[in-house]
Amino acid sequence: MSAKLIDGKKLAAEIRKDCAARVRTLAQHDVTPGLAVILVGDGAASAVYVGKKIKACENVGIRSFTDRYPADITNEALLSRIEELNADENVHGILVQLPLPAHIDMAKVLETIAVDKDVDGFHLYNVGGLVTGNTVFSPCTPYGVVKLLESENIPIEGQNVVVVGASNIVGKPMALMLMARDATVSICHAKTRDLAQYTILADILVVAAGVPNLILPQMVKTGA
């Protein structure tokens, strides 16, 4: 079997087209979805990510705005602003761009965001919901991987899946989401010995380790 490249940009365009249609339907009921993005500090990468998210909102008709704060903002001030957004009926989603400055209590920030506005899926309820199937929002990167597999009609049930990378943002939720679809999942990480003995058995191999050239051709099963 020759390798096939999945066109993620094409799928993203289709998803955004569907989102735009749903936004128009909500508009018929006088509802405009609103996203609040909080950006702390002047990190270049974070600014780029936020800019792309705001642009994506514009493309589908979602109202969005960015609260920008200096890197020395206090925990109390940041949490107070999140509470205000929780209470704002015109704000349906709250996204705090990570990473945050070292003095900010990230766990407390994520815990303060209302569960039903936690579009990143990082609140403890949403993380725990991945285990029980009751999550409100799933973390977006693993969700995107599932959508890619579904778009190609790649079966997940009963497949051997190896996830390389055990982060809270990608690796762990990825494994839980695939387990929920009845895959048999192994999680590998930086301390896994002889990584190839796992990857070579994978029908589906998901790599989110942040290490270029970690996976070599001979480590991948034919037809995976």
pTM of the model: 0.89
pLDDT of residue 1 exceeding 70, the answer is: no
Q: Identify whether 53 is a catalytic site residue.
A: yes
Alpha helix (H) residue ranges in the chain? 8-27, 44-60, 75-87, 106-112, 124-132, 140-151, 171-179, 196-199
Given the residues 53, 117, 159, 172, select the one marked as catalytic.
53
Residue 205 pLDDT grade (very low, low, confident, very high; cuts 50, 70, 90) = very high
Q: Report pLDDT digits (tens) over 62-102.
A: 999 999 999 999 999 999 999 999 999 999 999 999 999 99
Q: Report how far residue 168's alpha carbon sits from residue 142's, in angstroms, rounded to the nearest whole number.
A: 11
120 classed as catalytic: yes
For 8-135, where are the alpha helices, taking DSSP H only?
Answer: 8-27, 44-60, 75-87, 106-112, 124-132
What is the pLDDT of the chain when averaged over all its residues? 95
Active site residue 172: no
Average pLDDT estimate for 173-200: 96
Tokens standing for 70? 């200096």
Which member of 117, 118, 120, 159 is catalytic?
120
